[in-house]
Amino acid sequence: MSSPTDIGNAVREARRALGLRQPELAAAAGVGLRFIVDLEGGKNTVQLDRVLAVLHVLGLDLDVVSRVVRANQTHQP
């Protein structure tokens, strides 16, 4: 993932796969509905601690991977 929009799309897909509505996800993650709407919409001013709480509820992890390392791994024989 390389943008807030990518994260938002992943959150939306996971939420729908779990059969959750936005208000249900907001309540389970302890955040407001507006936050979920903004997150799924790719708003780039969301708070990381809240993003992590939402990802936890959805069973998702946020991994930070070096683009250099990833590029080198894809070009190995």
What is the per-residue pLDDT across 19-29, written as a single tens digit (0 to 9) for each? 999 999 999 99
CA distance 57 to 17: 13
In the block, tokens 């590029």 appear at 71
Domain boundaries, the chain: 4-74
- Predicted confidence at residue 64, as pLDDT, reads 82
Per-chain mean pLDDT for the chain: 89
Question: 27: number of CA atoms within 13 Å, CB side?
Answer: 5
Confidence of residue 9 (pLDDT cuts 50, 70, 90): very high
Indicate the SS3 state at residue 11. Answer: helix
Give CATH for domain 4-74. 1.10.260.40
CA distance 54 to 24: 11
- Predicted confidence at residue 36, as pLDDT, reads 96
